[in-house]
Amino acid sequence: MTPGADGPAPRRRGRPSRTAGAAGPDARTRILEAARAEFAARGYDKTSIRGVARAADVDAALVHHYFGTKDEVFAAAVEVSFEPALDLPAILDGPSEDLGERLARYFIGVWENPVSRAPLLAILRSAFTHEAAATVLRGFVLRRLLERIAAELDVPDPAFRAELAASHMIGVAVMRYVIRAEPLATADPEKIVEMVAPTLQRYLTD
């Protein structure tokens, strides 16, 4: 990563960029979507601020203006990718005796959907290959997801238990969608929910 190379693109190259002033109120959203798509398709290493700007049809300076460094663009893209996590309160608010089942079903649903799966896989892949991406994921996973779950638990070591539950769901995703080991790779999602739910239930409520 060479931040210097990601500076504003000379006007003579590529398509004409819109100016910051003409970008409109949806430019930020467009940049985020482009960043998510670029990181998902190319990985952390090969994604540049210039490339994101090109995909969003804005000037690279505008990407810098809204998000700052490449790491910060990545962090914002991670947050967008985890937006389904905003459903969490509804999941956490239900009766505690089937919390494990609700979380397992929600999680499998997010991963079964190719649209939400692609960016999650890209984030995991980036965390494996780049310390900066691992740091972003660590900060995000801790701050937004696990702490929110842990805060609702009435068990000793809630943060530890929330992480164990999350680790199991991440492991299922790695085995099913990355390694694609059978029989898990083609198992009926409901069968996975049925087996995994009691594990999550034990970690989160016992």
Judged by the rule CB under 8 A, the positions of this chain that interact with a second copy are 43, 121, 124-125, 127-129, 134, 137-138, 141-142, 146, 157, 159-161, 163-164, 166-172, 174-176, 178-184, 187, 191-192, 195-196, 198-199, 202-203
Q: Shortest CA distance to 36 belongs to which of 78, 86, 83?
A: 78
Query: Least separation, in Å, of the C-beta of 92 and a second copy?
Result: 19
Smallest separation (angstroms) from a second copy to the CB of 89: 21
Q: Least distance in Å: CB of 99 to a second copy?
A: 16
The answer to whether 75 and 135 are in contact (CB under 8 A) is no
* 2 vs 186 by CB, closer to a second copy: 186
* Per-residue b or e along 142-156, where b marks 16 or more CB atoms closer than 10 Å to that residue's CB: eeebbeebbebbeee
Q: Is the Cβ of residue 62 or residue 127 nearer to a second copy in the bound state?
A: 127
Q: Do the beta carbons of residue 53 and residue 38 sit within 8 Å?
A: no
For a second copy, which is the closer residue by CB, 22 or 160?
Answer: 160
In the bound state with a second copy, the residue whose beta carbon lies nearer, of 23 and 192, is 192
CB atoms inside a 10 Å sphere around CB 158: 18
**Please, what is the minimum distance in Å from the beta carbon of residue 73 to a second copy?**
20
**Nearest approach, Cβ of residue 191 and a second copy (Å):** 8
Residue number with CB closer to a second copy (37 or 166): 166
Tell me if 17 sits within 8 A of 9, measured CB to CB. yes
Contact 101, 165 (CB under 8 A): no
Q: Which is nearer to a second copy, 6 or 163 (CB)?
A: 163
- Contact assessment for residue 143 and residue 123, using Cβ atoms and an 8 Å cutoff: no
For residue 41, which of 125, 112, 111, 113 has the smallest C-alpha distance?
Answer: 125
